[in-house]
Structure 1
Amino acid sequence: MGRTEQFEGVYPRETSILVSFHWKGKRYRERVALAPTVANQRAAYRMRDEILVSIRIDKFTWDDFASYFPDSPRVKSGVAAAKPTFKAIAERWLVLAAPELAKTTYREYENVLKRYFFPLFGHRAIADIAYEDLAVYMAGLNVKSAKTFNNIMTPVRRVFDYAIKTKRVQVDITREIDSRRGQKPPPDPLDLTEMDMVLDRIRERYDPQWLNYFEFAFFTGCRPSELIALKWESVDFRRQQVRIEAARVRSIDKDTKTHTARDIDLQSRARDALLRQKAHTFLADGHVFTNPVTGERLMDTSPAVRTVWRPTLKAIGIRNRDARQTRHTFATMCLHANMNPGYISRQMGHTNARMFFEVYSKWVDADASDRERLKLDALFTRTSMSASTEGGQEPIAQHRHG
């Protein structure tokens, strides 16, 4: 049996966690309103460590005590009545949220709070921040993109949600600020001719490794973040499969977007691209695709996009698209080949088949749409021919095309 993880000074209770420490000659056992899960105990342990560091350097105050333990009887009895600031609550939430957040998400939330909210609201008591204060501030940012606006609001919503649960505020003012709805751009895949033109141009003008990279991308539908994280140990030539189990986002290695590994079947051109690439990187640092100039792993997708993809599209006169369209191109090629949509969806790593149908409905329904359109044309033709025959005139459809 596995050993239960233990955290010094942290004690799980039925619905909460006790944190124990000594300060000014006294022992304190304070309650934290978190379910006693392992992740929450680990977060409470980190919080306790912060407190001990502050005590050790003689920086821990009753204001800090109230910020960490707002429901403590010592706080309620008036020993420490200072209102916790927005910054203090936000920093506390970041500590507790860290175990459940991906590293990239944590860093993004932290950066948003530091850039947009700490300068203006950080020093203010969180309970004193009014809806109007926040609404006016957000409007003044003049953010045009719905996605950017929502990304800025997400961490501050989480902070206020935490403040509600810990009774630091009575009203969640972020609920009155609606999320914005933006139009998500539809897939913009290349057709077969355009794809061949792109690959031919890369073959003629660039290092062979870039041809291998993009041909593999076109014929697997992998996300760019998955391509740059792919290792040779995940390639099985005997089964002609590749296991996709990692991604690299904002220079950090992480799980795939869906947090689920998947095995993809190697189409012949994807397999051939890997066989060619094997001569370049198989004995190197373990990553399949590296930067041909430096020989080092691709830390992000910018070299592929900036030095190869965009110049290639521009040179052959194809409308500019982001490099993720290789993924959409794979999906639409498979649909044109009459492959099973459920199989394609699994290959691409969608969380469910419904998502695939929502994204690619235009191509899934392509043949059916043509058949339905032609039904109306056929009805019009039959009706016109019937009417013209009765009147002794040449059928309208024949007259039009004659």
Structure 2
Amino acid sequence: MGSINQRNGKLVADFRYMNQRCREQTQLNDTSVNRKRLMRLLKTIEAEILLGNFQYAKYFPNSNKVQKFEELNQRKQTASHHFSSADSPTVKEFSEIWFREKAIEWRKSHKQSIEGILDSHILPAFGKMKISAIKKQDILTFRAALAKVQTRTKKTLSASRINHIMTPLRMLLNEAADRYEFTTPWKNIKALKVPRTEVNPFSLDEVERLIKTAPEGFKPYYIVRFFTGLRTGEIDGLHWDKVDLDKKQIYIDQSLVKGEMTDAKTDGSNRVIKLTDRVVSALKVQMQVTKSKSEFVFCKADGKQFNYQTISRVIWEPMLQRLNLKYRNPYQTRHTFATLLLAAGESPEWIAQQMGHSTTTMLFRVYSRYVPNLTRQDGSAFDRYIETQGEENA
């Protein structure tokens, strides 16, 4: 129900239109006669709003809201046309529009990932459907089907992978709902719970055995991986101009992802890593092999960058098999680095910086259970501290 107010002695019409509050000042003086006159006008306006034939410019031609409501009405009519006519956009049609608009924001690797999800999962399931016709039950059924998909190794998709596939679908539906003014079916659909990050580090003895069994040309590669904590993309994309052996450090600000050099994973990933003497020695050996033929520190014989999947299959997996070690993915070299530093008693803040973490929170949450001194709960460490301090002060 509209109401009448006054401002500076003139009456103001106050009502709601298209879910927005509208206040329009008139040139009517605040008198009882004018109030009755304006109230009749408000009732007429509200009736027209209810019937759907209200035209803002008819009553308030000089209002700055006229253009705004005309645009909203045009958008509403366009949406109505799209979703009530035979040529309503399908998921495939809208996905092409959405992909073109969003692609400018994404890295090449991310575009390839989204494109793969659309082609392999979303479009086969929903491509021919009108995007406005998708219901919540359709989404849940699709997700349940993903849980039954098997990978090439005969394993089912992980919760993390399923969530990753569902994300573009959610973005598509929410964007279309906002653009064409229908209610998104993505209501109260929570992401699947992802188990704690799998951390299965190698012991120092296992590290030494792995390095020893590595092919001669890959020993420096694995020494650097195990004793710097570099991510796969960071070590495979490491350039010689980022290596300073005199200062015993390397600078990380880029990564090799699906054959393309990109910026580091996050702002925190940009960092300077201090090198041990053993790593420096390994890099000096590697310098004799690759510096003259490639900008990459570690590369193939022709100077081109590594393909991490090939290295994992041809080099890494056979190394584990030769030593009869349970399979662990190459990323465990990074986890191993963190746990070895913690076990050695290095400062958590320094370790976090070396790893490219902005805080120590993740460090303790992920790795602390692998370091006895950090998880002991019997008070013995504190007892020793008190005893030691007492002896020093005696």
Using structure 2 for the length normalisation, give the TM-score: 0.70
Alignment of 1:6-85 (within 5 A): 71-72=74-75, 75=78, 82-85=87-90
SS, match of residue 175 in structure 1: coil
User: How many residues matched?
Assistant: 302
CA-to-partner distance for each residue in 1:259-294, whole Å, 9 max, x for gaps? 442111111111111111000011112100012xx3
Tell me how far 1:374 sits from its aligned partner: 6.0
SS, match of residue 97 in structure 2: helix
Counterpart of 1:240 (choices 215, 233, 248) is 248
Alignment of 1:167-186 (within 5 A): 168-186=180-198
* 1:250 paired residue number: 258
Could you say if the C-alpha distance between residues 73 and 360 of structure 1 is closer, same or farther in structure 2, counting changes exceeding 3 Å?
A: closer
**Distance in 2, Cα, partners of 1:363 & 1:76:** 56
* AA aligned opposite 1:338: G
SS, match of residue 261 in structure 2: strand
Counterpart of 2:91 (choices 86, 90, 115) is 86
Alignment of 1:368-387 (within 5 A): 368-370=374-376, 372=378
Tell me how far 1:219 sits from its aligned partner: 1.0
**Distance in 2, Cα, partners of 1:70 & 1:113:** 32
Tell me how far 1:175 sits from its aligned partner: 3.0
**Distance in 2, Cα, partners of 1:329 & 1:349:** 15
Checking the alignment, whether the CA contact within 8 Å between 1:342 and 1:353 is kept in structure 2 is: yes
Could you say if the C-alpha distance between residues 70 and 100 of structure 1 is closer, same or farther in structure 2, counting changes exceeding 3 Å?
A: farther
Could you say if the C-alpha distance between residues 77 and 306 of structure 1 is closer, same or farther in structure 2, counting changes exceeding 3 Å?
A: closer
Could you say if the C-alpha distance between residues 70 and 373 of structure 1 is closer, same or farther in structure 2, counting changes exceeding 3 Å?
A: farther
**Distance in 1, Cα, partners of 2:318 & 2:294:** 29
* 1:146 paired residue number: 159
Tell me how far 1:299 sits from its aligned partner: 3.6
* Higher-Rg member (1/2): 2
Checking the alignment, whether the CA contact within 8 Å between 1:188 and 1:325 is kept in structure 2 is: yes
Could you say if the C-alpha distance between residues 273 and 78 of structure 1 is closer, same or farther in structure 2, counting changes exceeding 3 Å?
A: closer
* AA aligned opposite 1:100: E
Which ranges of structure 2 fall in alignment gaps of 5 or more residues?
1-71, 150-155, 382-394
Which ranges of structure 1 fall in alignment gaps of 5 or more residues?
1-68, 376-402
CA-to-partner distance for each residue in 1:86-110, whole Å, 9 max, x for gaps? 2222222212212222221222112
* AA aligned opposite 1:184: R
* 2:369 paired residue number: 362
CA-to-partner distance for each residue in 1:191-234, whole Å, 9 max, x for gaps? 111111111222xxx23x30000001111010111111000011
**Distance in 2, Cα, partners of 1:198 & 1:77:** 64
Could you say if the C-alpha distance between residues 169 and 73 of structure 1 is closer, same or farther in structure 2, counting changes exceeding 3 Å?
A: closer
* 2:3 paired residue number: none
* 2:124 paired residue number: 119
Checking the alignment, whether the CA contact within 8 Å between 2:79 and 2:181 is kept in structure 1 is: no
**Distance in 1, Cα, partners of 2:73 & 2:305:** 47
**Distance in 2, Cα, partners of 1:336 & 1:111:** 41
* 1:132 paired residue number: 137
CA-to-partner distance for each residue in 1:355-395, whole Å, 9 max, x for gaps? 1121112145x2153461769xxxxxxxxxxxxxxxxxxxx
* 1:161 paired residue number: 174
**Distance in 2, Cα, partners of 1:371 & 1:76:** 62
**Distance in 1, Cα, partners of 2:112 & 2:74:** 29
* 1:51 paired residue number: none
Checking the alignment, whether the CA contact within 8 Å between 1:164 and 1:170 is kept in structure 2 is: yes
Using structure 1 for the length normalisation, give the TM-score: 0.68
Q: Is 1:319 matched with 2:332?
A: no
* AA aligned opposite 1:192: L
Tell me how far 1:333 sits from its aligned partner: 1.4
Could you say if the C-alpha distance between residues 76 and 374 of structure 1 is closer, same or farther in structure 2, counting changes exceeding 3 Å?
A: closer
**Distance in 2, Cα, partners of 1:309 & 1:70:** 61
Instruction: Quote the RMSD (CA, aligned, Å).
Output: 2.9
**Segments of 4+ moved more than 6 angstroms:** 76-80
Tell me how far 1:74 sits from its aligned partner: 8.0
**Distance in 2, Cα, partners of 1:341 & 1:360:** 11
Counterpart of 1:104 (choices 83, 100, 109) is 109
Q: Is 1:286 matched with 2:295?
A: yes
**Distance in 2, Cα, partners of 1:201 & 1:193:** 12
